[in-house]
Structure 1
Amino acid sequence: MERESELYAPVKALLVEQGYEVKGEVGAADLVAVRGDDAPVIVELKLRITLSLFHQACARLAVTDCVYIAVPRPTGRTARRALKDNLSLCRRLGLGFITVRADGTVEVLCDPGPYTPRRRKAKTAKLLREFSRLRGDPNDGGATRHGIVTGYRQDSLVCAAHLAEAGPSRGRDVAAATGVAAATRIMRDNHYGWFEKVGTGIYGLTKEGRTGLTHWAYSWEPR
């Protein structure tokens, strides 16, 4: 679609089928639909989703609770992800969301209305575990110049630092000395290539591990 007006006819047809009288470009609204004593419906038509579109739609909520945004149906993997995120945003803002396919098929993905997102205790618990696991505050919010420092990376660095000082060691000894309960698993999984198995249950530090200690030196501190 090349013009917003191409969205108008299919959306209008859908509303007319539901008994609405529909008119375009009424006041500041792209489309207004009226049916008896029902609250008027406003639809903002745009070729793509932008922050400005959400601003406009939210402003229309001062007129009626029945506000939709309508855009061409996006295609492609990245577009589908964006569609899902924008649908979630519409629900949180109390807006309806309509997409129009190239063949004129109209899909109402959600209707306007109050929305209370379900709290997911497992995600909250995971977030708090990661917060508690981090030593200090190694990440500047929004900065990724060196990469994000996670609790897992810090635990790996603690294990690597112990091996650098003590030499090849048993996993249980590293865990006891460092307080990293998962030391054996971390060294066995060797996610960063920092460790090597030199004997039964015994791990040493690789060249990459020594480089990692230097590169990430700023990112951890003992508990």
Structure 2
Amino acid sequence: MAVRHETELYAPLKKFFEQQGYEIKGEVRSCDLVGVRGDGEPPLIVEMKKTFNLALLLQGVERLKLSPAVYLAVERCREKKGAASQRWGSLSHLCRRLGLGLVTVVFYKTKAPLVEVLAEPEAPAGPARGGGRRRERLLYEFHERSGDYNTGGSASVKLVTAYREKALRVAAALEAAEREAALAAAEGAAPVDGGGPIASAGPVRAPIVGALPKGVTPAELRRRSGVPAAAAILQNNYYGWFKRIVRGRYTLTADGSAALLEYAAVSVSQSVADRRSSAEKSNMQ
């Protein structure tokens, strides 16, 4: 059966390489699939297309500047009749000559897809040349992401990058701080820098209108979110999620609230990771 979109190749390829010990993430700095296995190994890069063509070949050669472990992945359709589908031996030989690997995926109606490696990438003799800075950026983006939220081969869709994740963490922290401040105001307690209430001595007094500080400071959001660059994210406001109401204080916009709903899975996952990290630090102390 022929696939309609190259994104359909991602799931079986991800599972296949995870079984080889790789941690896999999709759409990392324009690479369809990136895998990391061990500190000393070069990153795995896989570029996918529905069929083998010149564009895929050129893309693979370009990726060799980042890593010697580059595979081209295409569907191997058993029903397709044509010269290209019958010349896998020649295509494998071509990939080996260029230092590329070749992987095919066969889809069935009633059983799991079959992933087959037709050619392993063969690194050229001698030390790798160039691409060091780009490879560092690729690995930095990979490690800064908390999970795999993108499907490799996606086009014209919003990708969950490391920067977007951090902005979501800041937005979630801001929403929580404003919610706590509103609750404190309703209960008549004084908020802590836009955060939670503090215990008051004696009877609770009625809140004074206009006495509560508006917005949340970057320092408080940095503490709550665990994002060191929280201040820069607020000031740049790349996505339009934040609004500065007075000097040094920010509030969440309607777009920011909508983003937290749109990327709820990312936000929830990151919150769980933050809580685990905080618990581990407490246990160590």
Greater Rg by CA: 1
TM-score, structure 1 length as denominator? Answer: 0.49
Larger RCO, structure (CA 8 Å, separation 6 or more): 2
TM-score, structure 2 length as denominator? Answer: 0.39
